[in-house]
Amino acid sequence: MAKDIDINAKSPVMRYRVYLKLEKSLQPNTVEAYLGDVEKLSIFLKDNGVELLAATIDDLAAFLASLTDIGIHARSRARILSSLRSFYGFLKLDGFIDKDPTELLESPKIGMHLPDVLTLHEIDDVINAIDLSKKEGQRNRAMIEMLYSCGLRVSELCALKMSDLYLQEQFIRVTGKGDKQRLVPISSRAVAELEAYFADRNRIPIKPGYEDYVFISERLKKPLSRIMVFHFIKQLVLDAGIKKNVSPHTFRHSFATHLLEGGAGLRVIQAMLGHESIATTEIYAHIDSTRLREEIIEHHPRNRKM
């Protein structure tokens, strides 16, 4: 049960749990999904000094906007809004509040100018489409795995340096927008792909001044550019037979969506993405790096035991 919301037996949340279970006859997994969405809102409101029962339509709109900011797909946002409508509808019905703040909230428009999200199966299809007989094959596998497993921007991927890697500790240091740095947990699979790539990288006569960069062009002997990565992914997606509009950023959106749907908290996802709205020293001071790594290991598909 959520730790950030009131779990007293007489609390609105516990009364709502009973309502979902007994009156709505929902399955346990569905009940937990509804309560998990309420918890995400509760955490957001608490960070902004707002009580759950005192939330206004503006508070809820800000919460939904925060989901958009971190790349959560419209379908996931619509599902979360449906949960919140159910919750606040119950609160009004049971007399906890006089006005339902969700009544005038518009649902996210699905499929209109929104980034596509790849399923885990489609991500594996993209990776499996890479020709390992080519010199750049293993490098490209490592790149795709890093984009997805670490939620990196393409600029962050291209700028990543060997001195930023702490593979034994399973962390990497990422320099994002505004030169703000963050530590990001890296999955065992991504570590394995990187280490396999290093055998090829060590054979490249890298141009002076670029020796510290991780991803090197076999032909140019210097770091890959954003445009190179963009064109490589476009071709790879075609080879994999995927019809969605996919760019390097698609893997970042997929990372955030899969984490959210897996149960990770919004603050952890925001910390992983390095979003500007929370990328400050004060915010990071409240996020324990060990706890962050534990949440990523627990909720990211790449870390689940098969």
| CATH architecture of structural domain 120-303 | Orthogonal Bundle (1.10)
Q: How far apart are CA 199 and CA 167, in angstroms?
A: 15
Domain 12-93 carries which CATH code? 1.10.150
177 classed as catalytic:
yes
Q: Give the pLDDT of residue 296.
A: 59
258 classed as catalytic:
no
Residue among 153, 182, 267, 300 flagged as catalytic: 153
Residue 120's alpha-carbon distances to 47, 65, 73, 185, 300, in angstroms, are 32, 25, 15, 19, 11
Residue among 19, 148, 197, 284 flagged as catalytic: 284
Those residues of the chain that have pLDDT short of 50 are 1-7, 112-113, 278-289, 291, 306
291 classed as catalytic:
no
Q: Give the pLDDT of residue 85.
A: 94
Q: Give the pLDDT of residue 34.
A: 92
Residue among 77, 141, 182, 252 flagged as catalytic: 252
Residue among 24, 109, 134, 177 flagged as catalytic: 177
Q: Give the pLDDT of residue 149.
A: 92
304 classed as catalytic:
no
- Rounded to two decimals, the pTM is 0.61
Decide: residue 264, CB within 10 A, 0-12 exposed, 13-18 middle, 19+ buried.
buried
Tally of CB atoms within 10 A around 157: 23
Q: How far apart are CA 245 and CA 253, in angstroms?
A: 12
Q: Give the pLDDT of residue 219.
A: 93
Q: Give the pLDDT of residue 2.
A: 42
286 classed as catalytic:
no
Q: Give the pLDDT of residue 284.
A: 28
Interval 190-208: pLDDT, tens: 999 999 999 999 999 999 9
Interval 71-118: pLDDT, tens: 787 788 888 999 999 999 999 999 999 999 998 887 776 554 456 789
Q: Give the pLDDT of residue 77.
A: 87
- Where are the domains positioned within the chain? 12-93, 120-303
Buried b (16+ CB within 10 A) or exposed e, 33-69: bbbbbbbbbbbbbeeeebebeebeeebbeebbebbee
